[in-house]
Amino acid sequence: MGIWSTVKDGVVRALGDAAVKAGASALDETARPSPMLMEIGATGTEIFAGQFLEEYQSDLRGTLKYDVFGKMRADAQVAALLNVIELPIRAADFQVVPADDSEEAVEVAAFVEDALRRVEGASGILGDDFVRQAMLMVPYGVMLFEKVYCARHDGLVGWRKFAPRLPKTVARWRIDANGEFIGVEQRVFGDTPRNATIPSDKLMRFTYREEGSHLEGRSLLRDVYKYWWYKDTLYKLAAIAAERTGVGIPTLKIPRNAPEVERERAKAIVRGFRANEEAGIVMPDDFDFTLTTTRGFAFMPLIEHHNAMIAKAALAQFLNLGQTSVGSFALSQSQTDLFLMTLNGLLQHLCAVVNRQAVEELVRWNFGEAAPMPKVRGKLRSTDAKRLAETLDLLVKGNLITPDKGIEAVVRESLDLPPAGEARNEE
């Protein structure tokens, strides 16, 4: 009896006698796997020579987009948007939760927490620098880390560091026939050039909004690119307009019978006129110089529109409240709540990648395939004490929850208060 005999018996039970007569022989130990047990299709993602070519904007194809995204990150509105996404997740509370209450599960969870705290540069369960760089998946679409291991003093295997690998250094993405990620070919230029092939099981890959097998994801900045480009162009036009018409258009009236030399000199004066603290013109009596004021184009409404659209792309419209006469506290609250849902989803994605691509592997290496699997979990910090108090009051009055030590601990943690035992000891 082999594995295919076992698979055959399972299919027979599931499909009945008709399947036995029609194709049981296809599951013979010497036969090829049945199409029912094979992956036949593919995701359909367009990749050629290890590069994703589905982007229609030419300057956002391949590694060129990272130069553009770098310029976009220097924009004040884009920087504010990225900071308002990144900072709450960097400030989140992380913990390692055991699979169950058994002694073995608690031991495995304690090992994982200790291993994470020993990672180079870690200041907690997930180090601030690690989370900050992992959040580069938002502006870049993807961020990679190479897992570097070490032998621990207790004879187990741990992590030495999670080394960042910037996506702009990926010369080729390697996927199999079904679109599964199998590794990258990295090319680094500069004083310490290096070419390396890194297999997927050596990497942690954080991808923002992956579609199909598009391992580079879809950067948040791709959604705001159009609005950033128009805004950047409008600022340049506004600067030109301010320089040209900010102090008025120079007008020089010359006598009808002025010689050609004087006419050319007058043209040079109006063409080269610039306003500064020592600017001035000396002219004969018959010449008349004036600065004609003009009604310039209103650039700021358009710039404010594009700023609003940049914030809207990340559901962060509250960034623009107060810049116009429209907006209320209730509107701000509803927009903030929606944005926090987005942040929470991003935080759970970060934890899921760490669990799936790092924790599970290390636990199996050290404790075996059947070991109870702990999870890294993160929780955003809540600072709205009033809303928390009102919600708890309604739940208690409605007999939906009963106040106990567990709820008190959660409340104290949410409000950044010391644990009950420490508070009593201080008294």
E-state strands within 72-202: 93-97, 142-151, 157-165, 170-175, 181-188, 194-199
Strand partners, 379: 93
Q: Which residues pair with 342 in a beta bridge?
A: none
What sign does the CA torsion over 198, 353, 87, 221 have?
positive
What is the domain partition of the chain in residue ranges? 3-37, 47-240+313-378, 241-312, 382-422
Burial code (b: 16+ CB inside 10 Å, e: under 16) for 125-163 equals bbbeebbebbbbbbbbbbbbbbbeeeebeeeeebbebbe
Residue 19 in contact with residue 11, Cβ under 8 Å?
yes
CA angle, residues 290, 291, 295, in degrees to nearest 5:
145
Q: What is the pLDDT of residues 232-266, one digit of tens each?
A: 999 999 988 887 766 677 788 888 888 888 888 88
Inter-axis angle of helices 76-90 and 329-354, nearest 10:
60
Beta-bridge partners for 51 = 48
Which amino acid type is present at position 383? T
What is the C-alpha separation between 272 and 267, in angstroms, rounded?
Answer: 9
Residue type, 296: G
* Tokens read off for 186: 């990295």
Distance CA 371, CA 348 (A): 23
Taking only the tens place, the pLDDT of each residue in 346-390 is 999 999 999 999 999 999 999 999 999 999 999 987 656 666 677
pLDDT digits (tens, 9 = 90+) for 80-139: 889 989 999 999 999 999 999 999 999 999 999 999 999 998 888 999 999 999 999 999
> Residue 422: which residues within 8 A CB-CB, separation 6 or more?
none
User: Residue 57 contacts by C-beta under 8 Å, 6 or more apart in sequence?
Assistant: 225
- Closest alpha carbon to 105 in 361, 356, 367: 367
Cβ(287)–Cβ(266) under 8 Å?
Answer: yes
**pLDDT for 116:** 96
Q: What are the tens digits of pLDDT across the range 7-53?
A: 445 444 444 444 444 444 444 545 566 667 788 888 888 888 888 98
- Which tokens hold the place of 170? 């990926």
Average pLDDT rounded to a whole number, residues 407-421: 72
Token pair for 200: 């997927």
Window from 42-56, 312-326, 401-415 with minimum mean pLDDT: 312-326
Unique residue bearing structure tokens 């620098």: 129
What percentage of the chain exceeds 70 in pLDDT? 79
Q: Is the model's pLDDT at 158 over the cut of 90?
A: yes
Q: Which residue has the tokens 């050629």?
A: 48
DSSP conformation class of 286: T
% pLDDT > 90, the chain: 44
Q: Half-sphere exposure (CA, 13 Å, Cβ side) for 155?
A: 1
Distance in angstroms (rounded) separating the CA atoms of residues 207 and 41: 23
C-alpha distances in Å from residue 246, one per residue of 215, 227, 250, 294, 296: 49, 26, 11, 9, 9
